Each structure stands twice: as structure tokens, then as C-alpha cells.
Amino acid sequence: MEIRYQSTRSSGETVTASQAILKGLAEDGGLYVPTVIPGLDCSLEEISKMDYQETAYQVMKQFFTDFTEDELKTCINRAYDDKFDTKEIAPLVQKDGVYYLELFHGATIAFKDMALSILPHLLTTSAKKNKITNQIVILTATSGDTGKAALAGFADVEGTRIIVFYPKNGVSAIQERQMITQKGSNTFVVGITGNFDDAQSGVKAMFNNKELAKVMDEKGYQFSSANSINIGRLVPQVVYYVYSYTRLLAKGEVESGEPVNFVVPTGNFGNILAAFYAKNMGVPVGKLICASNENKVLFDFFETGVYDRNREFILTSSPSMDILISSNLERLLYMLSGGNAEATQERMNALSGEGKYAITDEMRGQMKDFVGGWAGEAQTAAEIKRVYEASGYVMDTHTAVASAVYHDYRAKTKDTAKTVIASTASPYKFATSVMTAIDEKYRGMDDFTLIDELQKTSGVKIPKAVEEIRSAPVLHDTVCETADMQKTVEKILGL
Ligand SMILES: *Cc1c(COP(=O)(O)O)cnc(C)c1O
């Protein structure tokens, strides 16, 4: 069956998977969604005998139906190779009575690598299939991790350029260093004076600017997006939910059909939406626990049915979740409204106007799979320390938010279902916050000293990604005002 994609904001016209990947965002500003979520055509028991790459093929072939088997397998094998420091790609680690699904074994030690190592291949294959001759310009806003993962994925990929905007004062020191040392003659990194939401809004405005698109086309360029609004990001993330469930099956940790809870530290709502897609594909998922930090706009939404971004933006120790506009929620709203594009458009208009919208009781009734929770800064730090002292396992701040939220949920509900916590970053990426959480004596020490201390504490080898940036020269130092983002792009491209 061919799966086609349509915008969340207008019904009617549909596009193929490769066209949706190329465009990133639909012309009306909506997000592409599959008209139906496909099922798997082999059993979870069969998948439990497959490796990560084969599992990826089983999932992706259901969504990307205009790719040939050969095209998809080539993309998969180029992505999930020895860039990952473990053969399992996404290992499941049992500690402290739960399973941590480690999604940080790729090139930039954060979960964005899971999708961004394959997106460039999906994109260049899509360009070929659609006879595109323009150079593809990847425009990305990042709260820290996407930027580096996208830069690493696209660096020196022929026919592409990548421009990354990040909040100059809103990412960790290691995150910034990872980006500004990026090699590759087609890579550009720009700090902006605003926060992540400003960066994301600026990027969206450029995508929607028809005038700019015309000028670019004349010069042989067109935009595409590596942000999690691209369906080519979302689908590869479905894979590891299928993979982790089938690993539990393979080990006899769950029986066939036994539901498993997933806890996901959430910002833009991409990762947890992928888990929801996995559930809709047939994976027995119990609760989807959406964990937020102090920017708890999603928690409030699950509690009240009102999404309200009118609040202070808080910088936390889990910066990749410091987000007040969770873009991918639009895809869930569209599904919950029964595919009502008009209503979705109205809500999104309200969000960009008054900064809030409400959903209907009927839609709320369909959200029973989701549970919202949040953890503050002190609770997050305490969870890192607690798990370390109980089991020797050292986790990063984002994972700790999820872990703290899970234990609150479990205490409150007495739900003892087996639970997988998405572990979204290596603790090395946030060494300062992690080490001071474990012991106050580390406060004030510099990042690289703490990285050495972290190795002694955790017994986990320092990843290559961290070793590399110790001595790498700074190659990018552009900073601009939020209002000047487009001017900066024009300058980079020579428009
Ligand atoms: C991006 C990111 C998240 C949030 O994921 P979303 O898909 O935006 O919800 C959580 N943790 C880390 C480490 C991340 O990089």
C-alpha cells in the first residue's frame, strides 16, 4: 500500500514520502503526516530476531513507500554503521528496576543522532528521485543537540549546505563548543541573541517566505529542514521503540502482547510522538509518560487541555527541553481531531496570536495513553545522585528529568508495568551539571576537568566526540540579532 503525506493545516493535496522529506514543512506552514499510520507486516517475535538495521528497514519501508528496497537499505547501512560506538546502536540497559534505552551512542552523543545520521541520505536520495538539481540548504534552529547532530550528518554531503542557528546564551558550554568547531566547507553556525523559540520562529518565517524562495531558486538553492518537523526525522525515531520492545521480548523480559510503559524527556514532542506512532503500528505500549523540566507547558496541557505558552522561559540544566512551543504536538492534535485540518490551523493561528489554544473534551478523552509529569532543577539533580548511589549508573540531566517523573508516577499510581526510559544524552555532554549533582565539591571546576572526573566516577570511557573537541580550533564565530537571521542567510548564500 502506498502511504501518502498531507499537511496538518489543509486537506486535499497529498505528496509522496520523498517529496515530504524534501519539503520539510508543507507550503501552508503545516507539518506533513501520513494519511494513515501503517502496521508492520511481520510479527514482533520475528523482529526480535533481527538486528537494528533490519528492524529499521521493517519500520521505514512501511512509511517511505516510494523508496525502493535497495535505496532504503543503502540509506540505513550508511547511517547505522561504526559512527555508533556499539553494534546494538541503541542498547537497553537494566538499572535501578527500569530499562534505560541509551540513544546516545552516535557521533554527537545525543539521541538526535538516531535520526540525523540517516536524514542526509534520505534527503539526497529524495532529491535524486524527484530530479531536483538545486542545492539543498538545510536551515536549522537548535536548542543545543539538533545543531551538532545535523552538522555532523550533513558535513561535506554533496549537493547540500547547512546553516544552524542556536541561542547564544542558551546552550551548554560543551554543546556550543561541539558546534563552533564543526568542520566541513558546507557548514555554517550562527549564534543569535534570542532564545530557542526565537530561533525556531525565525527559521519557520524563512521557510514560509515565498519571496525568498523565489530568489533562492534563481540562484540554484532551495531550503529543507533537518528539524524534527521533517517526517524524515520522525520515522527513524519510531524504529528504536520497536527495537527496544522486541529486545525485551527476545530476552523473555516481557511476554508477547504485554504492555510496556515508555517515559520520554520531552521538548519539541518529536521523540514521544514517535513512540505514539510505534504504538499505532502495533507495539504494545502502556502509558506514554511525557516528562518536562520547569518549562512545563506540556504538563499543564495534559492536566487542563489548554496549551498556553504565555509564561516565563526558564533556562535549566536540561537545555534541550527548554522549549515553550512544542512543534510536533501539532501532529498529535491533527490525529486527535480526526484529521481536522481546519481546526488544527485555527489552533495554530491562536498559538501564534494569543499564545494559547484549547482542545475539545472529546480530544482530551483520546489522550488517555499520555501522562504528563515534570521535575524541577533540585529534583533532577537529586535523581542523578540517587540512581548513582543506588546502582553506580550515571545519567545525564534530560534522562534524569524522565527518571524522576517516572518514579513520581509509579509512587502515585502503583503501576508496576515494565518501563523503558528514553535516555537521550550521554552524561559527558552535561558533565558540569551531572558532577555537581553527584557532589557539590565539583562546583566551579572547568568542564574538561569534570569530564575526567566523570570518567573516574562512572567507569565509562570518554566518548570520541568529547575527546575531539578538547583541542579542536573554533571555526565559527558569527553572532546576530534575532531580527537579522534572514539577512545572515542571504549573506552566507550570496543572494
Ligand atoms: C532534543 C532532546 C530532547 C527532546 O526531544 P524532543 O523530540 O524535542 O521532544 C530530550 N533530550 C535531549 C538530550 C535532546 O537532545
List Cβ neighbours of 42 (8 Å cut-off, separation of 6 or more): 58
Closest atom of ligand 1 to CA, residue 112 = 15
Is the Cβ–Cβ distance between 58 and 242 less than 8 Å? Answer: yes
Rounded to whole angstroms, how far apart are CA atoms 303 and 297? 10
pLDDT bracket for residue 470 (50, 70, 90): confident
Provide the CATH topology of domain 92-107+232-459.
Answer: Rossmann fold (3.40.50)
C-alpha cell at position 12: 486535499
List Cβ neighbours of 237 (8 Å cut-off, separation of 6 or more): 114, 115, 270, 271, 274
Rounded to whole angstroms, how far apart are CA atoms 211 and 369? 42
Ligand 1 geometric centre to CA of 265 (Å): 7
CA neighbours closer than 13 Å in the CB half-sphere of residue 38: 19
Instruction: Report which of 224, 171, 237 is spatially closest to residue 199, judged by C-alpha positions.
Output: 171
Scanning the structure block, which residue is given the C-alpha cell 529534583? 379
Instruction: Tell me: pLDDT of 73 over 80.
Output: yes
Instruction: Tell me: pLDDT of 137 over 90.
Output: yes
In tens, the pLDDT along 17-69 reads 999 999 888 989 899 999 999 999 999 999 999 999 999 999 999 999 999 99
List Cβ neighbours of 467 (8 Å cut-off, separation of 6 or more): none
Instruction: Say if strands 98-102 and 419-423 run parallel, antiparallel, or are unpaired.
Output: parallel
Closest atom of ligand 1 to CA, residue 425 = 13
Does the CA dihedral 261-73-188-477 come out positive or negative?
positive
Rounded to whole angstroms, how far apart are CA atoms 35 and 335? 10
- In percent, the amount of the chain with pLDDT more than 70 equals 100
In tens, the pLDDT along 349-372 reads 999 999 999 999 999 999 999 999
Predicted model pTM: 0.93
Catalytic residue among 23, 61, 112, 287: 112
Give the residue, 176 or 227, on which the prediction is more confident.
176
CA neighbours closer than 13 Å in the CB half-sphere of residue 265: 33
In short, whether 110's Cβ falls inside 6 Å of ligand 1 is: yes
- Burial class from Cβ neighbours inside 10 Å (0-12, 13-18, 19+) for residue 445 reads middle
With the most atoms of ligand 1 within 8 angstroms of its CB, the residue from 109, 271, 331 to mutate is: 271
pLDDT bracket for residue 251 (50, 70, 90): very high
Rounded to whole angstroms, how far apart are CA atoms 26 and 35? 14
pLDDT of residue 58: 98
Ligand 1 geometric centre to CA of 322 (Å): 9
Rounded to whole angstroms, how far apart are CA atoms 33 and 9? 10
The predicted model gives 85-95 an average pLDDT of 97
- Helix (H), strand (E) at residue 277: helix 270-281
Is the Cβ–Cβ distance between 264 and 275 less than 8 Å? Answer: yes
Secondary structure (DSSP) of 314-379:
---S-GGG--S--TTHHHHHHHHTTS-HHHHHHHHHHHHHTSEEE--HHHHHTTTTEEEEE--HHH
**CA nearest ligand 1 atom 1, residue:** 320
Ligand 1 geometric centre to CA of 413 (Å): 26
Q: Which residues pair with 222 in a beta bridge?
A: 136
Instruction: Report which of 170, 168, 222, 224 is spatially closest to residue 193, judged by C-alpha positions.
Output: 168
Is the Cβ–Cβ distance between 21 and 32 less than 8 Å? Answer: no
pLDDT of residue 285: 98
Ligand 1 geometric centre to CA of 210 (Å): 30
In tens, the pLDDT along 380-390 reads 999 999 999 99
Rounded to whole angstroms, how far apart are CA atoms 288 and 250? 22
Helix pair 270-281, 329-336: axis angle to 10 deg:
40
Is 112 an annotated catalytic residue? Answer: yes
Three-state DSSP class for 81?
Answer: coil
With the most atoms of ligand 1 within 8 angstroms of its CB, the residue from 108, 113, 116, 145 to mutate is: 145
Distance from the Cα of residue 291 to its chain's centroid:
14
pLDDT of residue 208: 87
Ligand 1 geometric centre to CA of 245 (Å): 20
Across the beta sheet with 32-34, the strand order is 14-15, 5-7, 32-34
Scanning the structure block, which residue is given the C-alpha cell 566518548? 463
In short, whether 271's Cβ falls inside 6 Å of ligand 1 is: yes
Three-state DSSP class for 299?
Answer: helix
Across the chain, mean pLDDT equals 95
